[in-house]
Amino acid sequence: MSLAEQSVGFEEFCFARITETLSEQSWVVVPDALPPALAEALFAQVRMMTPDDFAAAGVGRSHDHTLNSFVRRDQICWIEGANDAEKEWLAFCSRLQTYINRRLFMGLFSFESHFAHYAPGAFYKKHLDAFRPSPTERGARRVLSLVAYLNPGWQSADGGELVIYDEHGAEPVQRIQPLYGTLAIFLSDQVPHEVAAANRDRYSIAGWFRVNGTKADRVDPPL
Ligand code: OGA
Ligand code: MN
């Protein structure tokens, strides 16, 4: 088997695991899911980034978007496909989007993502990534969240776990270490989650697949 065939097999295996689990529950975690070459490229980029590349992350939809350091303290940098690493990342997520749509008919339409840096002490309190749609809501909605971790040698003492809660947000059901190459994927409006305070620099990419809010007779304004 050629290297290219091996990497296609690796990706299929990982995508299959994601869709099979998501057909039964609202979240899935796959260790070592990032293709090694992609993980290396993204990690190399993260290491080159300086504090100036990042901006403080905000909370809420764009019209009431606010900086709230009580809720979250991470720093983010949106991924626009500015270099090969970002392009490969977006291509990987686009293949995942197609795969999920074919298997689960989710109608995923667009994708957005950003690098996130949690400095020591930074956290993100329990939250949902999207609210359940109201009948009057317009625009593209986040439906599926994805987080990829880029932290070689992470130890339990480093904290910074992604804590997944039950659907009511009452009890933690899983704590996930932000280990290099791990992917966490979950339904944006159904899985309350938080990022526990990290004791060392923690790097990740958070992304969201959206469904298209366009109705037959009009095009929704961007959020
Ligand atoms: C987020 C988020 C989780 C993580 O950015 O909305 O919940 O583990 N991130 O970084
Ligand atoms: Mn989140």
Alpha-carbon dihedral 213, 206, 78, 72, rounded to 10 degrees: 100
**Residues ≥6 apart with Cβ < 8 Å to 173:** 164, 165, 166
Alpha-carbon dihedral 164, 223, 182, 46, rounded to 10 degrees: -130
pTM score > 0.75 for this model? yes
Can you read off the two tokens belonging to residue 168?
């009511």
> Which residue lies with its CA nearest to atom 6 of ligand 1?
129
In the chain, the amino acid numbered 27 is W
Counting ligand 1 atoms within 8 A of each CB, the residue from 72, 115, 193 with the most, and so the one to mutate, is 193
Domain ranges of the chain: 3-60+68-211
CATH superfamily of 3-60+68-211: q2cbj1_9rhob like domain (2.60.120.620)
> Which residue lies with its CA nearest to atom 9 of ligand 1?
206
How many Å from the N-terminal Cα to the C-terminal Cα in the chain? Answer: 46
Written as tens digits, the pLDDT of the chain (223 aa) is 676 667 778 899 999 999 999 999 999 999 999 999 999 999 999 999 998 898 887 776 555 556 667 788 889 999 999 999 999 999 999 999 999 999 999 999 999 999 999 999 999 999 999 987 776 666 678 999 999 999 999 999 999 999 999 999 999 999 999 999 999 999 999 999 999 999 999 999 999 999 987 544 445 555 5
